[in-house]
Amino acid sequence: MAWPACLNEYEKLLIRMDTPRVAIDNAVCPTATLVKVDSARKHGILLEAVQVLTDLNLSIEKAYISSDGRWFMDVFHVTDQFGRKLTDDSVISYLEQSLETEEDHHLRPIASGEGFTALELTGADRPGLLSEVFAVLTDLGCGVVDAKVWTHNGRIACLISIHDELSGDCIDYDSPRIRHMESRLLHVLKGDGGVYGARIVISAATIAHPDRRLHQMMFADRDYERTTLSSSSPSISVQNWIEKGYSVVTVQCLDRPKLLFDVVCTLTDMEYVVFHGTIDIDGHIAHQEFYIRHKDGSPISSEAERQRMVQCLQAAIERRSIKGQRLELYMEDRPGLLSEVTRTLRENGLLVTRADVSSKGDMISCVIYVTDAAGQPAGPGVIDDVRQRLIPDCLIVEEQRPQFHRQEEREGAQGLGGVGIGLFYLGNLFWRNLYNLGLIKSFS
């Protein structure tokens, strides 16, 4: 590293101590690449590392997290989206540079470029709501650059980047036009019944990572309080290990992409620090356990706090769960396109449960998940009608399929256990994973 001439040796030492050190090893494990990150302990450092991995669409097969004094050591077993070890030198180089940088990896704009205005919308979800939102934007001459929409427990959160449709420039967020837009969108979110909780934030740009921001918006909307448990709900246990002064959080659920990010993001935004942890995938079941404390060093102190932790983690895992059929549209962008697409879905009785819209140049890509009015998959006839009303060659319809990190399911994989997992099991899982990761030796 080339040091600026103004730095003395002590300042150089501090920079070396605070900068994460990264080692990527393809020789230790035959099935995955080991990514080791050593860094000074600070709040959110684990989330930054997990975010870098998930942004590259890497699957985390196993992980070990530990801290000693003021230092953290994270070890991740990762594969690419096809379940293979990392062999592309450009990907490995980018991974090293991203993990070693001191920048906050969550401070990234939603849109791919500059010159846009950012909208954050939260409120009660209802049929046709997204269609009405895009109709207002079209009517006011706003073009959509990017959009991400999540729904959960009857609530909706949207991040939308817009610009002036004619000029392509950012819309001045202090202008009367923005105030008029805010008034109309707020009226749409509240609906005829004046539903509570509708909220709009408009800014020149947003700096929060979109997935993290969506979690924060739904958390602030308290969607976790309306969680209804089912047989497929994640199994979560929170217990105190009094002798060591930790609270132990254990999560068991179906594995899927970005699961670890969703859990760690929630723990971080709830102001908890992960001191130790293990992550393991058994077939299609993910096992995660974390030894946590508050930022002030204290464990969870009440039953109410424990229950809130369980509710918040369940909500965080379920928000990204895919419900319905996947519709993918890729075509040349034009004014009012999203309004037309969502209106067509509404007129055919389809509900949008999740959406991801991005534009590049003159092209736009839309991935939308839909269900019928009862929350069930739409009939083939309805989907055919939607296809015919839009451009058939540009619309791809795919049935819902579970998404897992592993391509194959191990024989004998067990189902989800109950919520009451004892500390004896937790301790055994912790040390067993250390052994499996090659970080300790067996003395039996």
Residues 218-251: tens digit of each pLDDT:
999 999 986 566 667 899 999 999 999 999 999 9
Residues 82 and 132 in one domain: no
Arithmetic mean of pLDDT, 301-325:
93
Residues 152 and 181 in one domain: yes
Residues 304 and 426 in one domain: yes
Residues 309 and 374 in one domain: no
Residues 135 and 103 in one domain: no
Model-level pTM?
0.84
Task: Give the model's confidence band at 77: pLDDT under 50 very low, under 70 low, under 90 confident, else very high.
Answer: very high
Match 């979109």 to its residue by tokens.
210
Residues 19 and 102 in one domain: yes
Give me the percent of the chain exceeding a pLDDT of 90.
57
The Cβ of residue 112 has, within 10 Å, a number of other Cβ atoms equal to 12
Residues 306 and 333 in one domain: no
State how far the Cα of 340 lies from the Cα of 417, in Å rounded to an integer: 45
State how far the Cα of 219 lies from the Cα of 264, in Å rounded to an integer: 14
State how far the Cα of 286 lies from the Cα of 432, in Å rounded to an integer: 15
**Structural domains in the chain (count):** 2
Q: Is the pLDDT of residue 12 over 60?
A: no
Beta strand 155-164 pairing with 235-241: unpaired
Residues 131 and 50 in one domain: no
CATH number of the domain where residue 388 is located: 3.30.70.260
Arithmetic mean of pLDDT, 12-36:
80
Residues 41 and 152 in one domain: no
pLDDT on residue 387 = 87
Q: Is the pLDDT of residue 146 over 70?
A: yes
Given a contact cutoff of 8 angstroms between Cβ atoms, the answer to whether 23 and 75 are in contact is no
What single-letter amino acid sits at 212?
R
State how far the Cα of 56 lies from the Cα of 413, in Å rounded to an integer: 28
Q: Is the pLDDT of residue 321 over 90?
A: no
Arithmetic mean of pLDDT, 127-133:
95
Highest mean predicted confidence (pLDDT) among 41-45, 165-169, 286-290, 358-362: 286-290
Is residue 442 a part of any domain in this protein?
Answer: no
Is residue 222 a part of any domain in this protein?
Answer: no
Residues 202 and 131 in one domain: yes
Beta strand 59-68 pairing with 21-25: unpaired
> Closest Cα partner for 148 from 56, 226, 213?
213
The Cβ of residue 34 has, within 10 Å, a number of other Cβ atoms equal to 20
Is residue 215 a part of any domain in this protein?
Answer: no
Given a contact cutoff of 8 angstroms between Cβ atoms, the answer to whether 293 and 263 are in contact is no
Is residue 177 a part of any domain in this protein?
Answer: yes
pLDDT on residue 167 = 83
The greatest distance separating any two alpha carbons of the chain, rounded to the nearest whole angstrom, comes to 74
Residues 92 and 133 in one domain: no
pLDDT on residue 7 = 61
pLDDT on residue 440 = 46
Assign residue 263 a region (left: φ > 0; alpha: ψ between -120 and 50; beta: otherwise).
Answer: alpha
State how far the Cα of 277 lies from the Cα of 267, in Å rounded to an integer: 12
Is residue 218 a part of any domain in this protein?
Answer: no
State how far the Cα of 436 lies from the Cα of 31, in Å rounded to an integer: 13
Q: Name the token pair of 42.
A: 């600070």
Is residue 273 a part of any domain in this protein?
Answer: yes
Is residue 197 a part of any domain in this protein?
Answer: yes
Helix (H/G/I), strand (E/B), else coil: 358: strand
State how far the Cα of 357 lies from the Cα of 338, in Å rounded to an integer: 9
Domain extent for 166? 117-206+323-398
> Closest Cα partner for 188 from 238, 234, 138?
138
Residues 36-57 pLDDT 10s:
998 887 788 899 999 999 999 9
Total H helices, total E strands in the chain: 11, 16
Is residue 441 a part of any domain in this protein?
Answer: no
State how far the Cα of 77 lies from the Cα of 141, in Å rounded to an integer: 48
Q: Which of 31-45, 105-119, 165-179 has the lowest mean pLDDT?
A: 105-119
Highest mean predicted confidence (pLDDT) among 337-346, 404-413, 435-444: 337-346
State how far the Cα of 281 lies from the Cα of 293, in Å rounded to an integer: 25
Q: Which of 18-22, 34-38, 194-198, 251-255 has the lowest mean pLDDT?
A: 194-198
Task: Give the model's confidence band at 214: pLDDT under 50 very low, under 70 low, under 90 confident, else very high.
Answer: very high
Residues 234 and 345 in one domain: no
